[in-house]
Chains A and B, each alone.
Chain A
Amino acid sequence: DAKTTQPPSMDCAEGRAANLPCNHSTISGNEYVYWYRQIHSQGPQYIIHGLKNNETNEMASLIITEDRKSSTLILPHATLRDTAVYYCIVRAHRGGSNYKLTFGKGTLLTVNP
């Protein structure tokens, strides 16, 4: 699975958009970009994933560059409850095998009032 690089921490004002970058320059053509987050000591929570196209769901938007070497997770209107560590994970879908997730250090997003 491709390695990812994320800034260790970011700040965002409440109500503003939070843009979290992820670099995955060695990504392969069959690898997806996944985002999870972990609010302090709670279980990680799935946010969104994508392959090539930009994706949006009720939680966030995922923008993947055309060359797929980087992506940005966007929380459109951050709230205090969005303060968490955000993990960008890249991996291929492998049917019938261990679906282990490899979490890096992630980005600690702090949403300030």
Chain B
Amino acid sequence: EAQVTQNPRYLITVTGKKLTVTCSQNMNHEYMSWYRQDPGLGLRQIYYSMNVEVTDKGDVPEGYKVSRKEKRNFPLILESPSPNQTSLYFCASSSGLAGFQETQYFGPGTRLLVL
């Protein structure tokens, strides 16, 4: 089954304790992206990747890092989490094929609470 998976689904942590949220897709998609969703602010893009070793900032990249060493994985790293990073996080992927780039598949979400 074609899917985007994220782990963990729920995470409670403390300020400053490094964490990684994993994202993996099994569709051989070139494009992957991370969003965060907050009440009243909608979904905002954090980082995106056009292909392996190609990443770039989205609208709200501060406090986050990403890497794309393999096509299927796109982990989101919070080196020193702060309470304002408490949010619902979604990973998404797209084939990048002409005419289908905008059809994105989203993961189930990771709910993060930073105390």
A→B interface (CB under 8 Å): 32, 34, 41-46, 49, 89, 91, 93-96, 98-101, 103-105
A101 to B42, CA, bound (A): 11
Query: Which residues of chain B from 93 to 115 have a CB within 8 Å of any chain A CB?
Result: 94, 96, 98-99, 101-109, 111
A95 to B96, CA, bound (A): 7
Q: How large, as a class, is the contact surface on chain B?
A: 20 to 34
**Chain B binding surface, main DSSP class:** strand
Question: B108 touching A42 by the CB < 8 A rule?
Answer: yes
Question: B103 touching A46 by the CB < 8 A rule?
Answer: yes
Question: A91 touching B102 by the CB < 8 A rule?
Answer: yes
In the bound complex, residues from chain A placing their C-beta under 8 Å from that of B94 are 99
A94 to B100, CA, bound (A): 10
A71 CB to closest chain B CB (Å) equals 15
